[in-house]
Structure 1
């Protein structure tokens, strides 16, 4: 069965990818310049970073939207195997490689024991920025399980219940204190990110948008004014709760669900107005998975340049990191084994009009 691609997704995927890289560039800039910039500048750049936390949740949404839209009738026999080879294997390999960086940056002595510990944390617990892969694989299996029964239920009820579950799950780790042991401290610090209830609303929203995509297109055009206003309203709420120290700076918090979804629908409306995908965004979309996996390597090694002000350094860091990631993915994909290390280069499309949804084998 040939897979259909929704054209607007090329742009939204590219924007989500760039938001992740820019977010990490800002955070690295803040840490690198923390001793030489004012408290107000730290505050300002931290606020700037908050705008871009929608990136990873958007990837979760996109992955299910494409799956629900492309395979409405049946799932190909090689569905899981193909994704294991082209998504999970690169994740595992990069998890091993990032463990060396974790050891080096943590000042830990390199040994077989420390390597096994750090690499196991990365691969099995998602203890590096690639944790997103463990989340979407849970949703691949969840999709296989629910696709035959979900249509028996009201979409509004499913979305409402999944939203309540999502909010309750994330709130639990905010308002309930962990038992004072290393294990529970680790769960509350980052392991709670991995189980699917922390992302379940994005999954079901992506599912329904994928199944009835053109109805979604009609919806965002009909309510375009509200759609365009909501990202600003929800972002103000995010800022409010952040600077009251109500929630930490993270994408894994209840209010970020509403902000991320408002950004997604605003992007759907804006991209639906374009007659052609900008070439730069098409390139980013094609290389998005590889960029996602590799960009942290370059952020770790591109050290602060104190002769440059931070507002110059951060854009340079962002551009260099993106370009070097693309170059690395392109170079390695010249060899067949490369796609199993940094991911496969994706497909492209020449326009984004509603009626021209390409079929790519």
Structure 2
């Protein structure tokens, strides 16, 4: 891979790297709106039923696959992937930590904007301190300190959703400009180009926040069937993130002939992954026995 390809991957991957942070913010927004007044016992059981159990099931399937590829025991693979969070589904561990914070901080100062600023300082300070990562407790991509800003941002948006909705609606050009500025601010602080994406880059946090407001403003601009479709896709967000790596290996079986056409491969690959994931999710959602696998809790109550 030459330098030009590396730079291209650098820009493209970081441009679309807001997926998981966006899902986490959206999760906390909807969790705050729908469940802030729910009893702690019912709330905790709902998280276990619709988040933790699907995480274990998908993690076990992925562990069995990885154990065959790496020729290791299922136990070692399960320990490394599911328990330690070394896989694409590790964001569920972050959501579980959000759940604990919701239980501990419920009705206690979660709606103050001061905490959003403080959490941003804490997350940036933690991520920028390379020396702290020599300790095993902190050297973990799911450590809550790195995601604390998203938690308090989502909580604040959830508590002030009606006010912020109007504010976002009336300031779309400013949001677009802020997103562009935040994105180009990241390379300024970055030391070099790399094909790999590290979501926990302190300079990316403002970009992720701006992206969320930008996508939110675009989603609320849609009407009728389009808006309903957007909500349904968003409601399956965590399922799509867990499911797409299972079907991703088959992507080149269908679109391998587009390997040299990066743009077309990206477009058709995205449609393939979203289409397959959304289709399977719609089927699973029709049956009570399989509905819990969707971890569906964004725009509707868990039990619906």
Which of the five TM-score ranges fits, normalised by the shorter chain? 0.7 to 0.9
Q: Is the CA contact 2:31–2:298 (under 8 Å) kept in the aligned structure 1? A: no
2:247 maps to 1:290: no
After TM superposition, give the deviation of residue 205 of structure 1 in Å. 1.2
Alignment counterpart, residue 176 of structure 1, candidates 131, 144, 161: 131
Q: Is the CA contact 2:32–2:158 (under 8 Å) kept in the aligned structure 1? A: yes
Moved over 6 A (4+): 346-349
2:65 maps to 1:101: yes
Q: Which residue of 1 aligns with 2:277?
A: 325
Residues 104 and 43 (structure 1 numbering): CA distance in 2 closer, same or farther, change over 3 Å? farther
Q: Which residue of 2 aligns with 1:50?
A: 14
2:191 maps to 1:239: no
Using structure 1 for the length normalisation, give the TM-score: 0.73
Q: Is the CA contact 1:329–1:343 (under 8 Å) kept in the aligned structure 2? A: yes
Q: How do residues 10-21 of structure 1 correspond to structure 2 at under 5 angstroms? A: none
| In structure 1, C-alpha distance between the alignment counterparts of 2:266 and 2:50, rounded to whole Å | 31
Q: Which residue of 2 aligns with 1:120?
A: 79
Q: Is the CA contact 1:234–1:259 (under 8 Å) kept in the aligned structure 2? A: yes
2:180 maps to 1:228: no
Q: Which residue of 1 aligns with 2:257?
A: 307
Alignment counterpart, residue 221 of structure 2, candidates 269, 273, 281: 273
2:108 maps to 1:159: no
Alignment counterpart, residue 132 of structure 1, candidates 91, 94, 104: 91
Residues 306 and 266 (structure 1 numbering): CA distance in 2 closer, same or farther, change over 3 Å? closer
Residues 294 and 268 (structure 1 numbering): CA distance in 2 closer, same or farther, change over 3 Å? closer
| In structure 2, C-alpha distance between the alignment counterparts of 1:318 and 1:59, rounded to whole Å | 17
2:216 maps to 1:261: no
| In structure 2, C-alpha distance between the alignment counterparts of 1:76 and 1:327, rounded to whole Å | 34
After TM superposition, give the deviation of residue 150 of structure 1 in Å. 1.1
After TM superposition, give the deviation of residue 91 of structure 1 in Å. 0.6
After TM superposition, give the deviation of residue 49 of structure 1 in Å. 1.4
Q: Which has the higher helix share?
A: 2
2:268 maps to 1:316: yes
After TM superposition, give the deviation of residue 199 of structure 1 in Å. 0.8
Q: Is the CA contact 2:123–2:202 (under 8 Å) kept in the aligned structure 1? A: yes
After TM superposition, give the deviation of residue 89 of structure 1 in Å. 0.6
Using structure 2 for the length normalisation, give the TM-score: 0.85
Deviations 1:186-241 (A, max 9, x none): 964xxx22121111111111111111112212332454332221110011112333
| In structure 1, C-alpha distance between the alignment counterparts of 2:86 and 2:291, rounded to whole Å | 22
Q: Is the CA contact 1:54–1:260 (under 8 Å) kept in the aligned structure 2? A: yes
| In structure 1, C-alpha distance between the alignment counterparts of 2:171 and 2:267, rounded to whole Å | 34
After TM superposition, give the deviation of residue 347 of structure 1 in Å. 8.2
2:146 maps to 1:146: no
Aligned length: 299
After TM superposition, give the deviation of residue 133 of structure 1 in Å. 0.9
Residues 268 and 123 (structure 1 numbering): CA distance in 2 closer, same or farther, change over 3 Å? same
Q: How do residues 185-224 of structure 1 correspond to structure 2 at under 5 angstroms? A: 188=139, 192-224=140-172
After TM superposition, give the deviation of residue 307 of structure 1 in Å. 3.4
Deviations 1:40-76 (A, max 9, x none): 2342133111111111111221122112222444436
Q: Is the CA contact 1:333–1:344 (under 8 Å) kept in the aligned structure 2? A: no
Which one has more relative contact order, counting CA pairs under 8 Å at least 6 apart?
Answer: 1
Q: Is the CA contact 1:90–1:339 (under 8 Å) kept in the aligned structure 2? A: no
Q: Which runs of 5+ in 2 are unaligned?
A: none
Deviates more, 1:199-208 or 1:66-75: 66-75
